[in-house]
Structure 1
Amino acid sequence: MLNKPLVILISITVVLVAYLLMIQIKIGVPYWDVFNYLNNAFHFANMGSSGVVNHLPPLIPLLTSLFFRMGYVSVDVIFILSGLIFILGIIGLYLLLNERFDSTKSLTGSLIFISLPVVMAWAVSGGIDLPGVVFSIWALYFMVIGLKKDSKFLYLVLPLLVISILTRYTAGLIVLPMIFYILANFNQVKNIPQIKKVIFGIAIEFGVLLTIFTFFILQLDTSALFGLFFDIVTSSSSGVEDVAYNSNFLFYLQNSLNYISLGPIQGTYRQLLNPSEGIPSVLAYIITMISVIGIFSYIYRFLSTGKEKNISQVNIINLGKITIILVLFIGLVLSFYNKSLILSEIFLLALVYLSYRFMARERFEIDNKLALDLMFLSWFGAYFLFHGILPFKVDRYFITMAPAFTYFIVLGLSQFINELKPRINGLKSKSGLVYMAIALICLSVTTVTYIGHTPQKTFTLDIEDASQWIKGYDPNYYNKIIGSDYPNAVTWYLHKETTGAYLKYYNNTDEFADYLQENGVYYYFDSNKSHPTLKSYRIIKEFGVVAIYEKITP
């Protein structure tokens, strides 16, 4: 039977993605790493090895390289690929939400997810944050329906988990909510028909996928990745020298209003990509207030049902349960602020699992809803802990928490509206319209804000113009050393290795010019708005914010 809400969702998403693609293709690449993925894709297509960064996740560059092999070598490829994956992710999110909510609420939640500024801004950017989340969503969805409906879907969980990790390494943290959900449904796992056959099949899958995964990892230079992970889990990373360094553990929580909705309409593209630099809209405060009230109401009503008859026994049992939960929570907070990632994740898993066991009412429907609630809580918590401890904070990392964040917005809205139904005549029959109105308002506000913040182009288009110009100016450019403060972009457009050269690391322009000369740099591409005077170099051409310097020869 045709699922009308899903059809509506797909239609809205496709139209929106088409619009976002039109804008993204016009304004160009939004940030540094996309050029790294493009250079890697060029290498995977056996078209060259300039600018390869071996430690990056391989999946998106690999998929992009398939289009390159077919002759379509363009930045647009990675934008379009991102858009297609995004559409797939929205479908998956709807289906996952539909395991907990009805179709109207699931549609609302999916549209709210799209409307999160940090999601819309990065949806077709060519980045890996959203694709990593997309494959994680599908892995979780197949696990949920595999345990609840048909065990055959469990065979898809492991492949999608591996795909998500190869898309974005930190997607592996999704195993924590997976472990919780399996433990919470352990009795169902034991009752799955042919469970031995399922386990045997997954074990074979594991062996094959582990071999494939190992092959990919061995092809990559993962020393930097493992070094960073080691620093985090051992609390030895400072990262002070990095521009994204931020020691605020609660950065993402404190900016949660900005992640719901930005205002005003006019603003900068930088604010769009980094909502923490903007200001939240009135809508963000309203949605937050309603959701928080609804969630507290939900918790209160859940805890106030199913009381035991023996009051003295209840008091003793409850006191023990509360003590255990408090100890685990305190352990979680202490380990978090002591930057102990592994301990924090262990405490989180223990906390949500024992909370489930203590609160389960022995009724399947309630148990199932609670299991999903706590699964999403563990999802949000796993990434919140990791990115809170991580010394580098950028807004797009919040995307990893966005599906769980959206889940609790929907849960809060649902409970809030349920509380109002007995008090407002006609609300029960028209609640579906209320949900749709909320979703469309959120989507409209974010779309208008996106339009108001989007520039005519990014400065990377100036780099493209400069790169095309140098080809005509000096046909022998390929045999000369070229430097830039945005080397991966110049490398992509010229398909030639470019030397990284950054003025900010030197005391003065003379020291920087000496560095360029010592390294034999003949042309230097500078992407700063104010172009310094460099001894022994002269500016030969400017394109927007980009200037091309040429070495002065006697």
Structure 2
Amino acid sequence: MLKNFKSLIKENKNLFSLLTVLIVSLIIGSLIVWINCSENILGHSYRDIYLYLIEALKFSGVNITGYDYVDFLSPLIPFLTSIAFRLNFVSVNSLFVITGIFYVLGVVGTYLLLRLRFDNTYSIFGAILYGSFTVNIMWAGNGSIDVPCVALSIWTLYFFIKAMKTNQKYFYLAFPLSVLTFFAKYTGAVVFAVMILYFLSQKDIFSTIKKYFKNIIGGALFGLVFMVPFFYYYLSNHIPFGFLNQAETISSTTTRSAFAIRKHKGNNLLYYFSNLPRYIYNPNHWVGIILLIICMVGIVYALYRFSKVLKESYGIMDSKVGFNYDTNSFWDNIVGKFKIPKSIFYVILFASIVGMCLSFFIAGKVSFVKCEILFFISIFIFSLTFNKVLLSFNENNKFKYEFFTYDLMMIGWFMGHMIFLSAHLTKVDRYATAFAPALAFFITFGLSFICEKLKDYKIKSVSLKHIIPTVCVILLLIMSFSYLGVNKHDSLVNNEQDTVTWLEGHDPNLGSAVIWADRGPIFTWYLQKEVHYVTNKENSSKFSNEMLANNTKYYISQYQNLSIPQYKEVKQIGEVSVYQKV
């Protein structure tokens, strides 16, 4: 029977690998959601999540005045949450469950995406690695929209590549998912640039366009259908399109925020690079450092091979180079007539590399949009020139690189997000989830290179090529489950909930009372009525006059024993104090 079971696994290796990743991600994802639902975690650092809850209330028909700016937030996750609210599951747990599902989808999608490049063993490792990143576990299933956005971008790219390689009907899944990625978080629009890069970095652009034109147009039009409900909601309610305002602000200046200026963090371009070990595994940075060393081994090897190919190709190339690819197509024949000297060709190739590097180092000095445009134009020119180099090698049967477009896509994915995040003065760790799948890819690439070099070494007839990834997966699972034991409870949540309970018992007319609070969105969610969000109270007399002018009855503060004219402290619960108009 055991023999038959082993035979069954061998025959259905892909399916069992997928099921393994699915089961592991379901267990971890369920534990994350259960922990977040069981413990009060939404304390000091989770203001945005309450804004998504307010937006979900608005989608479900509960219109709270004074919080019109939630209309500018990314709508997908609040919209999905509003469905649960309409079914009478009005709880923060609904948001936890919905965002937790996307964690599972992200891990499974990572396996499938890596499976297009690696074998089962390395794909399982890469998927579990992605799922075990501290930054992912920390921000999964807690109501934030970052992990859902990344999960959708993973599936978008998976189906897009499948459409290019196997069946063009997958375009009708890829484009709708790309639209949902954008509405999950507006910065997810980077996925469109990555898709275009993958498409245009194919060997022959003109043949590629001709081959896929019909279904790409069809898929794109089908994707537009998924925009209709959102645009209808915005237009029918006379709501401005928040992403257009964001795009205008970003394109005109370096992205700034009052929070960043207040914290004096400055524009540290290397912030995310320097914190990579922490994002991989925060309790022990050495784990992240070791994995990054593995990653660097693969990158250094790739750069060595790249330099060697360029050096050898210079001797193979004709004195004049044309950008035709021997497809005998109409456009290929026209382009082939235009040739440039070999020396200029290589200057263009190296200039494209310089352009990619420069786009990162000028981030923050010019607008994010200009940096991204420079990067993607440079990487496109690089693909155009290097594809020609690869063609010259293929003609001489010297070197084949079948995953060039895939690897270039991963570089574009990683750097596309890194440039934007580095240009942004606000440096927040959860933003690192955006490039986490690409980081998992590069570490997997490094591990695969090392293991391939050790494939002839065996322990009890089993190759190290299989032992090392298996051991790594086990260690990653131990890391994941151990990190789940980290105490995420925040007593501020209890203080705020007890404050609401006290207010409701203290004032039977609380529904008509005007309330101001330092953490306005939190109390707005609890009371499901407008609680004015206080952002500036430096001058106590002026602040008091403003509250009196607005007939404010209560002010809920994070600070005790404040001296506010015409207001006295009537209740203190932990970190929360309630001031009432005298």
TM-score by length of 2: 0.83
Q: Post-superposition shift, 1:150?
A: 0.7
Q: SS at the partner of 2:578?
A: strand
Q: CA deviation at 1:29?
A: 2.4
Which residue identity does 2:36 align to in structure 1?
Answer: Q
Q: Post-superposition shift, 1:440?
A: 3.1
Deviations 1:32-76 (A, max 9, x none): 111111111112111343445111111111111111111111110
- Deviation string 1:1-47 (CA, Å, 9 cap, x unpaired) is 46222212111111112221122112242501111111111121113
Distance, in Å, in 2 between the alignment partners of 1:300 and 1:423 is 24
Match of 1:346 in 2: 373
CA distance in 1, matches of 2:174, 2:468: 35
SS in 1 for 2:143: coil
Cα offset, 1:436, TM superposition: 2.6
Residue 496 of structure 1 pairs with residue 529 of structure 2 = yes
Counterpart residue number, 1:283: 287
1:408 aligns to what? Answer: 442
Does the 8 A contact of 1:384 with 1:401 survive in 2? yes
Name 1:292's counterpart in structure 2. 296
Instruction: Verify: 1:373 aligned to 2:407, yes or no.
Output: yes
1:172 to 189, 192, 202: 189
Q: State whether residues 255 and 364 of structure 2, in contact with CA within 8 Å, keep that contact through their aligned partners in structure 1.
A: no
Query: What is the deviation of 1:210?
Result: 5.1
Of 490, 494, 498, 1:465 maps to 498
Q: Deviations over 1:305-359 (max 9, x none)?
A: 5934946969847743554334424652564353232332222223323333443
Letter in 2 for 1:29: L
d(CA) in 2 for partners of 1:486, 1:433 = 52
Q: Which moved more, 1:461-470 or 1:73-82?
A: 461-470
Over residues 125-174 of structure 1, what are the superposed CA-to-partner deviations in whole Å (9 max), with x where a residue is unaligned? 10111111111111111100001011110111211111111111111111
Residue 524 of structure 1: aligned partner:
555
Counterparts in 2 of 1:160 and 1:490: CA distance versus 1, 3 Å: same
Q: Which moved more, 1:467-476 or 1:318-327?
A: 318-327
Q: Deviations over 1:374-405 (max 9, x none)?
A: 10110111111112112222111111111111
Does the CA contact (< 8 Å) of 2:157 and 2:195 recur in 1? yes
The separation in 1 between residues aligned to 2:481 and 2:272, in whole angstroms, is 22
The residue number in structure 2 matching 1:320 is: 347
Cα offset for 1:513? 3.4
CA contact (8 A) 1:247 1:391 kept: yes
Please tell me the residue identity of whatever aligns with 1:44: F
Percent identical pairs in the alignment equals: 27
Q: Is the 8 A contact 1:486 1:500 kept in 2?
A: yes
The aligned residue for residue 263 of structure 1 is: 283
Question: Counterpart in 1 of 2:85?
Answer: 68
In the TM superposition, 1:208-223 aligns within 5 A as 208-209=225-226, 211-218=228-235, 219=237, 221-222=239-240
Match of 2:271 in 1: 251
3-state DSSP class of the match of 1:482? strand
User: Residue deviations 1:97-126, cap 9 Å, x none?
Assistant: 110111111111111112211111000110
2:139 is aligned, of 116, 122, 125, to 122
1:549 aligns with 2:558: no
CA contact (8 A) 2:99 2:144 kept: yes
**Rg larger in 1 or in 2?**
2
The equivalent of 2:324 in structure 1 is: none
- AA matched with 2:283: G
Cα separation, 2, equivalents of 1:381 and 1:95: 22
Partner of 1:382: 416
Question: SS where residue 162 of structure 1 aligns?
Answer: helix
Rounded Cα–Cα distance in structure 2 between residues aligned with 1:509 and 1:223? 37
* Partners of 1:46 and 1:440 in 2: CA distance: 47
Stretch of structure 1 that moved more, 165-174 or 386-395: 386-395
CA distance in 1, matches of 2:58, 2:234: 16
Return the letter of the residue paired with 2:19: V
Counterpart secondary structure, 1:392: coil
**Stretch moving more, 489-498 or 38-47:** 38-47
Decide which moves more: 386-395 or 350-359.
Answer: 350-359
Is the alpha carbon distance of 1:367 and 1:488 closer, same or farther for their aligned partners in structure 2, counting shifts above 3 Å?
Answer: same
Q: Where does residue 40 of structure 2 map in the other structure? A: 27
The verdict on how the C-alpha distance between 1:312 and 1:149 changes in structure 2, with shifts beyond 3 A counting, is closer
* 2:538 is the counterpart of 1:534: no
Q: Aligned residue for 2:308?
A: 304
- Residue equivalent to 1:229: 247
Contact preservation (8 Å) 2:40, 2:491: yes
**Do the aligned partners of 1:291 and 1:410 also contact (CA within 8 Å) in 2?**
yes
Q: How many angstroms apart in 2 are the aligned matches of 1:68 and 1:209?
A: 22
- Structure 2 CA distance, aligned partners of 1:231 and 1:160? 26
| Structure 1 segments unaligned to the other structure (5+ residues) | 265-280
CA drift at 1:246: 3.7
Residue aligning to 1:506: 537
Q: Does 2:515 correspond to 1:515?
A: no
Report the alpha carbon displacement of residue 216 of structure 1 after superposing the two structures with TM. Answer: 4.6
Moved more, 377-386 or 22-31: 22-31
Which whole-Å deviations, capped at 9, do the CAs of 1:474-514 have from their partners, x for residues lacking one? Answer: 12100111111011110111011101224xx3335444334
Task: Give the distance between the partners of 1:157 and 1:223, measured in 2 at CA.
Answer: 24
1:44 to 43, 51, 59: 59
Query: What letter matches 1:490 in structure 2?
Result: F
Cα pair distance change 1:194/1:355, threshold 3 Å: closer
Conserved in 2, the CA contact under 8 Å of 1:83 and 1:124? yes
Report the residue type matching 1:22 in the other structure: W
Letter in 2 for 1:252: Y
Does the CA contact (< 8 Å) of 1:468 and 1:493 recur in 2?
Answer: no
Decide whether aligned partners of structure 1 residues 427 and 168 sit closer, same or farther in structure 2, where only a CA change above 3 A counts.
farther
1:276 corresponds in structure 2 to none
Query: What amino acid maps onto 1:282 in structure 2?
Result: W
| TM-score, with length taken from structure 1 | 0.87
Which range moves more in the overlay, 16-25 or 187-196? 187-196
DSSP-derived class of the 2:554 partner? strand
- Specify the code of the residue in structure 1 equivalent to 2:500: S
The answer (yes or no) to whether the contact 1:56–1:220 under 8 Å persists in 2 is: no
In 2, the alpha carbon distance for the partners of 1:260 and 1:391 equals: 22
Taking the aligned partners of 1:39 and 1:87, their CA distance within structure 2 comes to 25
CA spacing shift, 1:220–1:372, aligned 2, 3 Å: farther
Q: Is the 8 A contact 2:513 2:553 kept in 1?
A: yes
**Unaligned regions of 5+ residues in structure 2, if any?**
1-11, 320-341
31-40 or 531-540: which moved more? 531-540
Whether the 8 Å contact between 1:485 and 1:526 is mirrored in structure 2 is yes
Which of 156, 165, 168 aligns to 1:139? It is: 156
Q: Residues 130 and 437 of structure 2 are in contact (CA less than 8 Å); yes or no, is this contact kept in structure 1?
A: yes
SS at match of 1:534: coil
Match of 1:485 among 505, 509, 518: 518
- Paired residues in the alignment total 532
Q: Deviations over 1:189-228 (max 9, x none)?
A: 9479985642452354255345445335545755765444
Aligned to 1:158: 175
**Distance of 2:565 and 2:478 partners within structure 1:** 52
Point out the more displaced range, 142-151 or 321-330: 321-330
Residue 442 of structure 1: how far off its partner (Å): 3.3
Distance 1:416 1:407 in 2: 14
